[in-house]
Chains A and B, each alone.
Chain A
Amino acid sequence: MKQFEFDSTNAICGLTFIALGGFFVYQCLNLELGTAFRMGPGYFPLVLASILTVLGVVVLVQATRVKGEPMGPLALRGMLFILPAPVFFGLTVRGLGFVPSLFFTALIAAFASSRMTPLMALLLAIAITVFSVAVFSYALGLPFERFGPWTRL
């Protein structure tokens, strides 16, 4: 009896599909299904979500058959700094205003690389802010408030 092996990447992938499919199926249950003649809002999504779930099961079953390469390392530092950058921009662009909000967004994103030095990050963020304000705010005339209510004491 050989040892039970499975491809961990595909196993996670299959489970992810099943979870997503299950989530959409669950959401569909609250929607009116209708008939094939007059489909309600839930009909087509329910079909799709069921297909997704079934495909997830197929991927999961396949994972037990073949062994694939491992997933490799995750860019943890990258995720830690890259993903919050747009969120920070979203949270502060109205309050702080375009200029400070963009400066900090660029600064946060800059630290995603382990090669970045603090001084370099600061200079880069300043350069990006100056350039963007000139191009987007002045030249293209986007209706952003440059300094928002939070900066006025």
Chain B
Amino acid sequence: MDLISNLALGFSTAASPENLFFCLIGVLLGTLIGVLPGIGATATIAMLLPITFQLEPVSSLIMLAGIYYGAQYGGSTTAILINMPGESSSAVTAIDGYQMARKGRAGAALSIAALGSFFAGTVSTFLVAVFAIPLTAVALEFGAAEYFSLMVVGLVSSIALAHGSIVKALAMVALGLLLGLVGTDIYTGTPRFTLGIREYADGLNFVAVAVGVFGIAEILRNLEGEKTRTVLMAKVSGLWPTKDDFKRMVGPVLRGTAIGSALGILPGGGAILAAFASYTVEKRVSDHPEEFGHGAIAGVAGPESANNAGAQTSFIPLLTLGIPANPVMALMVGAMIIQGIVPGPNVATEQPTLFWGIIASMWIGNLMLVVLNLPLIGLWVKLLTVPYYVLFPIIMAFCSIGVYSVNSNVFDLYAVAMFGLGGYLLVKLRCEPAPLLLGFVLGPLLEENLRRAMILSRGDPTTFFTRPISAVLLAIALAVLLVVFLPSVKAKREQVFQEED
């Protein structure tokens, strides 16, 4: 069996003492920052990204993946304990999780979230392993036109999931794509939009843009109304769920895992959508729908499983096609490129240790989260009381070191300040930064494939519609765009995001 030998290779890579260590560090750092309110998974990874560049490619990606689900886990912890979701995908968890905590069942809620996540993580890691190779085979059939269309699907889906105005999200994608094009044109060598600054000839540094737009902008927003954080901390006791709890979480966990795994694969979708879908389903199938909103166990177990499964399977488009499904995956693409790995279907065949090592490390990381974090919950709770004004000078110092250490280019540091200011102003203008970052990463790829497709078709733009795979992908993109503009869906979408806030 190929699958088993591949997984064995993966586990032997991921279980090397060095990689285990970096996986552990990643998971701990991720949880640590994920717990601190106001900083979500994307900002966390953006800020910690530079730290990993000194490592081997495998270790660095394992650590980043660890940060990703660590942060997600940390986000659920704050959602349950202080009704403050560390990130949007755990917003649903806050609804019932916090109610459970207020009823003195914080410990049980945390364990249910952790166990549900672990189960979902195990299943979806296996799914990633099963589907990765066949999908890679499909991906090798892809030509320039198909890649172009696929990226269009990804960008359109990121618009559908952005908060607020769709027109603004579209504009953010366009701006992101333009910023991605800054630098030397690959075909002619002409410098573009560099304002005559030679240091920007290789393009704007991805890390600088990500740290600025997500990290610095977030710090500035938190500094806006400095209020004393009232930590209405529920006492954490009775960590282990009762037999009855277990009985009631089995169904939601299974359904959540299925929903999450399916939605996670969609480009642009992933964890947030999965959590909302699961909550809706649980509410509908429950025998006691009136319990929802008042501490229903299914309302914690389902969405938590779903968002973890979705987080895991969103690696599938990244690993097989090299297309990031969400901003976090966009950061992973950036990390891979800086490590000299071109993400795409060739990774599995050319770098099997890397490919399977990452997949295996996902499961190991999830295991670590359960084993380590349940006993450590007391520590995370204490962390919530660290005042914010102590945190951000630390964050600023690490950002500066990190960004500089990537290329030793001081202009990257100026770019951080510039994009921090820009990102903050855009947030103030109620624009979502996520589509911008996705556009920034995809910009050069999109242009390259567009130009190549046009050359291959001798300037005939119908090539995108006459090639079947490309046509289907564009049809999907169009369908998504039409759906988000439908008045009924638009209203529903606004309602969903309102709840989340």
Are B405's CB and A136's CB within 8 A? yes
Q: Is the CB of A113 within 8 A of B451?
A: no
Residue pair A59, B54 in contact (C-beta under 8 Å): no
The answer to whether B430 and A128 touch across the interface, beta carbons within 8 angstroms, is: no
Interface presence of B289 (CB below 8 A)? no
Whether B421 is near chain A, meaning CB under 8 Å from some CB there, is: yes
Among B174, B226, B397, B429, the residue within 8 A (CB) of A113 is B226
Q: Are B177 and A48 in contact (CB under 8 A)?
A: yes
A52 contacts the other chain (Cβ, under 8 Å)? yes
Question: Are A73 and B410 closer than 8 Å at their CB atoms?
Answer: no
- Chain B interface residue count, Cβ-Cβ cutoff 8 angstroms: 66
Residue in chain A with minimal CB distance to B418: A83
User: Is B225 an interface residue when CB atoms closer than 8 A count as contact?
Assistant: yes
User: Is A83 touching B421 in the complex (CB atoms < 8 A)?
Assistant: yes
The answer on a CB contact under 8 Å between B226 and A37 is no
Restricting to A48-78, which residues have a CB under 8 Å from any CB of B?
48-49, 51-52, 55-56, 58-59, 62, 68, 71-75, 77-78
Instruction: Check A116 for interface membership: any CB of B closer than 8 A.
Output: yes
Q: Verify B216–A83 contact, CB threshold 8 A.
A: yes
Q: A73 contacts which of B168, B219, B225, B396 (Cβ < 8 Å)?
A: B225
CB-CB under 8 A from B421, the residues of chain A are 79, 83
Q: Chain B residues with Cβ under 8 A from A129's Cβ?
A: 397
Complex CA gap A140/B60 in Å reads 14
CA distance A91 to B413 in the complex (A): 9
Q: Are B429 and A82 in contact (CB under 8 A)?
A: no
What residues on B are CB-neighbors of A37 within 8 Å?
454-455, 458-459
How would residues 99 to 138 of chain A score, 1 for a CB under 8 Å from any chain B CB and 0 otherwise? 0001001110110111110000100110011001000100
- Once the chains bind, are A106 and B178 in contact (CB under 8 Å)? no
B416: CB under 8 A from chain A? yes
B401 at the interface (CB under 8 A from A): yes
Give the residues in chain A near B417, CB-CB below 8 Å.
Answer: 83-84, 86-87
Interchain nearest-CB distance for A66 vs B (Å): 10
Considering only residues 87-102 of chain A, those with a C-beta below 8 Å from chain B are 87, 89-91, 93-94, 102
A89 to chain B, nearest CB (A): 4
**CB contact between B429 and one of A35, A71, A140 (< 8 Å): that residue:** A71
Given contacts A27-B192, A39-B451, is CB(A48)–CB(B178) below 8 Å? yes
Measured CB to CB, the residues of B under 8 A from A are 54, 165, 167-168, 170-171, 174-175, 177-178, 181, 185, 187-188, 190, 192-193, 216, 219-221, 223-226, 387-390, 392-394, 396-401, 403-405, 408, 410-414, 416-417, 420-421, 424-425, 428-431, 446-447, 450-451, 454-455, 458-459, 461
Other 19 A-B pairs with CB < 8 A, given A94-B410, A102-B401? A36-B459, A37-B455, A39-B454, A41-B188, A45-B192, A49-B174, A49-B178, A59-B165, A74-B224, A79-B421, A83-B417, A85-B396, A86-B396, A106-B396, A112-B393, A115-B389, A124-B394, A128-B393, A132-B398
A-B contacts, 17 listed (Cβ < 8 Å): A17-B171, A36-B461, A39-B450, A44-B450, A51-B170, A52-B175, A55-B167, A59-B168, A75-B223, A75-B424, A79-B421, A82-B216, A87-B417, A90-B404, A91-B410, A105-B396, A142-B405
- A residues near B (Cβ < 8 Å) are 9-10, 12-13, 16-17, 20-21, 24, 27, 31-32, 35-45, 48-49, 51-52, 55-56, 58-59, 62, 68, 71-75, 77-79, 82-87, 89-91, 93-94, 102, 105-107, 109-110, 112-116, 121, 124-125, 128-129, 132, 136, 140-144
